[in-house]
Copies of this chain bind each other. A is one copy, B any other.
Amino acid sequence: MSHQIQIIKPQTGKAFLLNKGQILTVTDPQGQQVSDMVMLNRHDHSEKISSGKTLDFEESILLTAGNFLWSNRSNKMVKIIEDTNGRNDFLLAPCSKETFEIMYDHTGYHPSCLENLTKNLEPFGLTQDDIPTAFNIFMNVQFNEKGKISVLPPTSKPGDFVRFEAMMDLLVCLTACSAEDSNGGTFKPIHYSISDSV
């Protein structure tokens, strides 16, 4: 299996297969760039990554090395085995055209993670309504004990990465996030690679 680095250009996405036991490394090559990640059971797309089940079983809003990401059927999908940045969450939905219209009064076309997840998962038979809340890699979502949420620029530095071990055969989709406020105001690429061992 290739260790070749795959490049997700700014404001785009890519879908790919990951076999049980393989290692996926998601890298922020320039720093301060979020990647949304969606995962589905490759053999049954009705089983997919679940924010609610993950927060249940991991008992934490923030997820880093040692945590698992779980499916809606209470199965482990991946283990986070390394995380050089340490700030990922599972709270907010992928940005969509409505995010920009409703929250930022944007008019006209705006690229979005939801569009990029949908576009890249459509060849596998999925539709926009099938896209669950994504795991937000490198996203810097702050919250206080009263629950107030704010999104700050990522703390990730150039070369920071998160490494996942697949616990089942997966269909994965990653984006380089399209939202100004989540990415320190500029859009950078995301890199990933797949290997058979760490």
Q: Which residues of A contact B (CB under 8 A)?
A: 46-47, 50-53, 55-57, 59-62, 72-74, 89, 91-94, 96, 98-99, 102-103, 129, 133-134, 143-150
If A55-B92, A62-B147, A147-B62 touch, whether A50 touches B103 (CB-CB below 8 Å) is no
Q: Is B149 in contact with A91, judged by CB distance below 8 angstroms?
A: no
Q: What residues on B are CB-neighbors of A99 within 8 Å?
A: 56, 74
A93 (CB) vs chain B CBs: closest residue: B52
A123 CB to nearest chain B CB (Å): 20
CA distance A55 to B62 in the complex (A): 15
If A46-B129, A72-B129, A74-B96 touch, whether A55 touches B91 (CB-CB below 8 Å) is yes
A-B contact pairs, 14 of them (CB 8 A): A51-B52, A51-B133, A52-B92, A52-B93, A52-B94, A52-B134, A59-B149, A60-B149, A62-B146, A73-B129, A133-B133, A143-B143, A143-B145, A144-B145
If A53-B93, A55-B91, A72-B129 touch, whether A145 touches B145 (CB-CB below 8 Å) is yes
Most buried by B among A46, A56, A59, A148: A56
Copies of the polypeptide in the assembly:
2
CA distance A61 to B46 in the complex (A): 27
Q: Is B56 in contact with A92, judged by CB distance below 8 angstroms?
A: yes
A46 (CB) vs chain B CBs: closest residue: B129
If A74-B96, A74-B102, A98-B74 touch, whether A148 touches B50 (CB-CB below 8 Å) is no
Q: What residues on B are CB-neighbors of A148 within 8 Å?
A: 59-61
Q: What residues on B are CB-neighbors of A62 within 8 Å?
A: 146-147
Q: Is B57 in contact with A103, judged by CB distance below 8 angstroms?
A: yes
CA distance A150 to B59 in the complex (A): 7
CA distance A91 to B147 in the complex (A): 11
Q: What residues on B are CB-neighbors of A53 within 8 Å?
A: 93
Most buried by B among A91, A93, A96: A93
